[in-house]
């Protein structure tokens, strides 16, 4: 069970360079191949140029095909892993929007409560010495409207927030982009009745539209959020799939520990275009110090499936013929 560490930026860069080199080889193969004596100076030179292109034309074509395959391989792997990372980043961005909103509201309520208490004390005790008043809490300032992370190497995630009169987020837009041009976007609108809708475009160009309903319950000990959702995805070739599921997230109000579990069913074409049904579960545990473990199990109709475990950014993958029973896991091979 070895960890998988993928530099998808490097793979994407290699894919782009392979594509550029393929175009250069193609240009050379399709360039002018017939020259006159006046252009090159002698019949010997004309014959040599003609022989060169006749000899190497097939090699050029084979080189183009190999470079195209190399480009597609690296491009596919890079986008697959970027898509996985971007999905986690998008979920984290939405959670940070809610956390930022809750924190701002708490500070704002604290500041207003202090002023209300001071004004009441002054009215009840006009001769009160100001030095006896408790220290004024820090004013919260402007509500946060943007969250940006930048690794200093051209890779950046930007999230913008819009809020309603009650201070709750009404719109969260996240854009994730790397220096080599991998990009994904997601915009989610939250409505006052607890419903929401979102539209996202992943690194492959697939577009997903989601609608759902979110309910919240809160006690001094725990805050629980339950989302029931339906997502419809259309890929770049027009194939469509539908995912329905439920996500339940429980946060310990005292420790900050959060457990999130999602169960879902996806109906749509597999890699060969055959209709299939995949059932999945995802469990994520986040500690106050940021330590996070996310486990995803997907089960195919025949009971086989995959397990993916992400621990603080490190990924491990397994396959099993009895994924439904959560047994028989073997490390996933590169050609699976």
Q: What is the pTM of this model?
A: 0.66
The pLDDT value recorded for residue 336 is: 43
The pLDDT value recorded for residue 90 is: 72
- 157/114 same-domain check: no
- 293/313 same-domain check: yes
Does a structural domain hold residue 253? yes
The pLDDT value recorded for residue 81 is: 65
- 158/206 same-domain check: yes
DSSP output for 170-228: EEEEEEEE-TTS-EEEEEEEE-TTSEEEEEEE-TT--EEEEEEEEEEEE-SSEEEEEEE
Are 307 and 324 spatial neighbours (Cβ–Cβ below 8 Å)?
A: no
**Rg of the chain's alpha carbons, rounded to an integer?**
29
- 95/132 same-domain check: yes
Q: What is the mean pLDDT of each run of 10 residues along the chain (336 residues)?
A: 44 61 63 60 62 58 66 62 69 70 81 86 81 78 79 77 84 85 89 92 90 92 93 92 95 84 94 90 79 90 92 85 94 66
Are 247 and 230 spatial neighbours (Cβ–Cβ below 8 Å)?
A: no
How many structural domains is the chain composed of?
2
* Domain's final residue, options 148, 165, 188: 148
Please state, in angstroms and rounded to a whole number, the distance separating the CA atoms of residues 304 and 298.
8
Are 295 and 308 spatial neighbours (Cβ–Cβ below 8 Å)?
A: yes
* Domain's final residue, options 148, 179, 207: 148
- The sign one gets for the Cα dihedral 202, 76, 299, 267 is positive
- 95/153 same-domain check: no
* Domain's final residue, options 127, 148, 169: 148
- 136/165 same-domain check: no
The pLDDT value recorded for residue 6 is: 42
Helix orientation angle between 8-30 and 43-124, rounded to the nearest 10 degrees: 150
pLDDT tens digits, 119-158: 888 888 888 777 777 788 888 888 878 877 776 767 778 8
The pLDDT value recorded for residue 72 is: 62
- 91/203 same-domain check: no
Nearest to 1 by CA among 313, 319, 312: 319
Are 233 and 210 spatial neighbours (Cβ–Cβ below 8 Å)?
A: no
Domain with 161 in it: 149-331
Does a structural domain hold residue 336? no
DSSP output for 26-71: HHHHHS-----HHHHSSHHHHHHHHHHHHHHHHHHHHHHHHHHHHH
Quick count: other Cβ atoms within 10 Å of Cβ 328?
A: 12
- 157/128 same-domain check: no
pLDDT tens digits, 187-197: 999 998 999 99
């Amino acid at each position: 069970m070895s960890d998988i560490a993928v530099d998808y930026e490097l793979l994407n860069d290699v894919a782009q360079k392979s594509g550029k080199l393929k175009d250069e080889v193609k240009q050379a193969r399709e360039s002018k191949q017939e020259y006159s004596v006046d252009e090159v100076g002698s019949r010997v030179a004309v014959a040599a140029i003609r022989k060169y292109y006749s000899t190497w034309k097939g090699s050029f074509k084979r080189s183009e095909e190999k470079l195209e395959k190399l480009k597609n391989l690296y491009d596919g792997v890079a986008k697959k892993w970027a898509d996985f990372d971007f999905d986690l980043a998008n979920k984290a961005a939405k959670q940070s929007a809610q956390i930022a909103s809750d924190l701002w509201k708490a500070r704002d309520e604290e500041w207003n409560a202090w002023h209300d208490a001071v004004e009441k004390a002054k009215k009840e005790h006009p001769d009160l010495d100001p030095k006896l008043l408790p220290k004024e809490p820090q004013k919260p300032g402007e509500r946060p409207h943007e969250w940006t992370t930048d690794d200093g190497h051209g890779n950046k995630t930007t999230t913008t927030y819009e809020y309603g009169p009650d201070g709750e987020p009404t719109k969260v837009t996240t854009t994730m982009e790397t220096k080599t041009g991998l990009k994904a976007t997601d915009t989610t609108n939250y409505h006052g009745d607890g419903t929401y809708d979102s539209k996202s475009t992943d690194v492959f160009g697939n577009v997903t539209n989601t609608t759902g309903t979110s309910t919240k319950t809160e006690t001094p000990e725990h805050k629980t959020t339950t989302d029931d959702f339906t997502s419809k995805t259309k890929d770049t070739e027009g194939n469509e799939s539908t995912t329905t599921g439920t996500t339940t997230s429980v946060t310990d109000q005292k420790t900050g520990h959060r457990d999130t579990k999602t169960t879902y069913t996806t109906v749509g074409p597999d890699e060969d275009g055959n209709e299939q049904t995949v059932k999945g579960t995802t469990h994520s545990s986040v500690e106050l110090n940021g330590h996070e473990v996310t486990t995803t199990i997907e089960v195919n109709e025949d009971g086989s499936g995959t397990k993916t475990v992400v621990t603080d950014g490190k990924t491990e993958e397994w396959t099993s013929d009895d994924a439904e029973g959560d047994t028989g896991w073997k490390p996933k091979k590169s050609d699976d």
